[in-house]
Amino acid sequence: MQDYAIEMVGITKTFPGVIANDKVTLQVRDREIHALLGENGAGKSTLMSILFGAYSADYGTISLHGKQVEIKNPNVATELGIGMVHQHFKLVQNYTVTENIVLGMEPRKRGGVLDLGSAEKRVQQLSEKYGLSVDPKELIENITVGQQQRVEILKTLYRNAKIIIFDEPTAVLTPQEIDELMEILRRLQQEGKTIILITHKLKEIKDVADRCTVLRRGKYIGTVEVGDVSEQDLAEMMVGRSVKFEIDKPEKKAGKVVLSIEHVTVKDPSGFQKVKDLSLEVKEGQIVGIAGVDGNGQGELLSALTGLSPVSSGKIFLDGEDITDLSIRSRIEKGMGYIPEDRHKYGLIGEFSISENLALKNYYKTPYSNQYGLLNYHKMSETADRLVKEFDVRCGEGSQTPAGSLSGGNQQKVIIAREISLSPKILVIAQPTRGLDVGAIEYIRKRIIDERGKGRAVLLVSFELDEIMNLCDRIATISKGSIVAVNNQNEVTEREIGMMMAGSRKDGGKQ
């Protein structure tokens, strides 16, 4: 009989209206990288939260190296050598990297005085050993999202975890950072760690995992040797049907200019130019993609376009009208839709129901509100029920389900349903499929193509080069806050875009 490092048998966990795990079995060998694959809402994170002690299973057993254990809370998991790198980081923004890492187990000198110096040295050693490149003294609020994830990894290493769970670790990383993380996972494995990798990205599974367990709608589907199966095989196990990786994009002649960005400059609070004299046009029936490495001005540009931050100089026109100084609501009413990169911060209110979130942008209008400002929740629910069905939002309590309880893919579907249902003239989209499974990616990309077919103008920002290449008609490559080049999709290769993202022009010159 195989002595597994981790053996979870018959795990069952229910929440109101949904069975998250239905008699699930997971068997992980010692010192392997074991992928856990499934659609959004398949029960992967729930299963791992049970292993980490954040949830308690209703039924089932957990054994570590053949010995049955009861993991009542994360402290017990930590004592047993289990660490977890969460998809949504659990960091205190105004603490330093080291203060976050030692939180809850702060080192002390004699007399109980906090000894941050020795902790900083150990954090530095771990950072260098695993190639994590994090400054122990830097504040969390001053480092990138990718670096914040590395802090979460360091937290587990600092606590001497032998088993490390990674929950969608690449969802917030650039392609270069993903490559670096894959190397970190291999290094951890070589150091004797057992890794469980929750991911939707089949390429990553093929790249780094030894075996893969697949869940579908809370049930165990099977475990396979990764070397024996193709990406297509894994996708079909995950969604229960054949999945199309290629996008059908019919020919479409672009119409008039809908969005015009003219010599726009955006500065950060310190006065540094994040966007520099940038000009770009998006036409009806056209998807224009902005390709670039994270941190090259994309976020600041979208904040300026949507009214979240001011423009230092230049003009923004929507359907010929100057909207540079208009309020966010005015831009929405003029026909701007926005699907933000951070769905939790800007896209949804987690405590609100799906119905309330779908009405966030037009709750003050009829039929949702009368002349006295009283809300018609019945009408809101009617519309929400229709959109939940149309956009295949999977939820336990229908349109009254709290948005915060949905899986990432279903949260994204709620945002897309809201924005598309408002029939915008221009749809501004940031990272629409980040962290989503292949089924949700296939669906969302198809909806974007459908909007193009209806004559909508679409501005798409994505760090996924294959997404830019497959979806876009024209591609604007951005580097250091400036557009390096704008090309028709069929005029440029993925490699050439990658070079331009690094600051090189298509002709081989430097920016």
**SS3 letters across 406-454:** CCHHHHHHHHHHHHHHCCCCEEEEECCCCCCCHHHHHHHHHHHHHHHHC
| pLDDT tops 80 at residue 114 | no
Whole-angstrom distance, CA of residue 388 vs CA of residue 394: 8
Residues 197, 119 share a domain? yes
| Residue 406 vs residues 303, 321, 413: alpha-carbon distances, Å | 26, 38, 10
Locate all alpha helices (DSSP H) within 245-285, ordered by sequence. none
CB 402 within 8 A of CB 16: no
Indicate the pLDDT class of residue 88, thresholds 50, 70 and 90.
Answer: confident
Indicate the pLDDT class of residue 511, thresholds 50, 70 and 90.
Answer: very low
In a domain, 1, yes or no: no
CB 500 within 8 A of CB 507: no
Whole-angstrom distance, CA of residue 156 vs CA of residue 81: 9
Percent of the chain exceeding pLDDT 90 equals: 53
Whole-angstrom distance, CA of residue 273 vs CA of residue 481: 8
Where among 389, 407, 423 does a domain terminate? 423
Please give the backbone phi and psi of residue 382, each rounded to the nearest 5 degrees, phi first. Answer: -60, -50
Among 273-287, 321-335, 439-453, 489-503, which is the least confidently predicted range? 489-503
pTM of the model: 0.70
Task: Average the pLDDT over 70-85 and give the result.
Answer: 93
Residues 274, 233 share a domain? no
| pLDDT tops 90 at residue 212 | yes
Strand 313-318's sheet: what is its strand order? 273-283, 257-267, 313-318, 321-322
Among 3-7, 250-254, 275-279, 317-321, which is the least confidently predicted range? 250-254
Residues 228, 273 share a domain? no
Whole-angstrom distance, CA of residue 24 vs CA of residue 202: 21
CB 284 within 8 A of CB 255: yes
Radius of gyration of the chain (CA): 24
Who's near 137: CB < 8 A, 6+ residues apart? 96, 97, 98, 120
Where among 193, 211, 239 does a domain terminate? 239
Residues 146, 209 share a domain? yes
| pLDDT tops 50 at residue 508 | no
Whole-angstrom distance, CA of residue 461 vs CA of residue 467: 10
| pLDDT tops 80 at residue 200 | no
357 CB-contact burial (10 Å; exposed 0-12 / middle 13-18 / buried 19+): buried
Who's near 13: CB < 8 A, 6+ residues apart? 19, 20, 21, 43, 46, 47, 50, 55, 57, 58
Residues 360, 220 share a domain? no
Residues 504, 411 share a domain? no
Q: Is cis: bond before 169, omega within 30 of 0?
A: no
Residues 448, 431 share a domain? yes
Record the tokens describing residue 107, joined without a space: 């080192």
Residues 432, 358 share a domain? no
In a domain, 340, yes or no: no
How much is the pLDDT for 353? 94
DSSP helix/strand/coil, 310: coil
How much is the pLDDT for 473? 94
| pLDDT tops 80 at residue 155 | yes
| pLDDT tops 50 at residue 510 | no
In a domain, 113, yes or no: yes
Residues 380, 328 share a domain? no
Percent of the chain exceeding pLDDT 70 equals: 95
How much is the pLDDT for 382? 94
Query: Each residue of 236-285: pLDDT tens digit?
Result: 898 887 766 667 787 888 899 999 999 999 998 888 899 999 999 999 99
Q: If you write DSSP's letter for every residue of 110-163 in order, what string do you get? A: GGG-B-HHHHHHHHHHHHHHTT----TTSBGGGS-HHHHHHHHHHHHHHTT-SE
How much is the pLDDT for 504? 59
In a domain, 343, yes or no: no
In a domain, 440, yes or no: yes
Who's near 58: CB < 8 A, 6+ residues apart? 12, 13, 14
CATH number of the structural domain spanning residue 20? 3.40.50.300
Domain coverage including residue 455: 245-335+425-511
- Helix (H) or strand (E) run with residue 507 in it: none
Determine the longest span between alpha carbons in the chain, in angstroms: 75
Number of alpha carbons in the 13 Å side-chain half-sphere of residue 138: 13
Residue whose token pair is 């993609």: 289
Residues 368, 462 share a domain? no
DSSP helix/strand/coil, 317: strand
* Strands in 219-352 per DSSP E: 219-225, 257-267, 273-283, 286-291, 313-318, 321-322, 336-339
What does the mean pLDDT of the chain come to? 88
Domain count, the chain: 3
In a domain, 109, yes or no: yes
Indicate the pLDDT class of residue 509, thresholds 50, 70 and 90.
Answer: very low
Who's near 304: CB < 8 A, 6+ residues apart? 264, 266, 275, 310, 311, 316
Query: Each residue of 341-375: pLDDT tens digit?
Result: 888 888 999 999 999 999 999 999 989 998 888 99
Residues 259, 228 share a domain? no
Whole-angstrom distance, CA of residue 207 vs CA of residue 202: 9
Taking each helix axis from N to C end, the angle separating 145-158 and 175-190, rounded to the nearest 10 degrees, works out to 10
In a domain, 341, yes or no: no
Where among 375, 391, 423 does a domain terminate? 423
Residues 214, 189 share a domain? yes
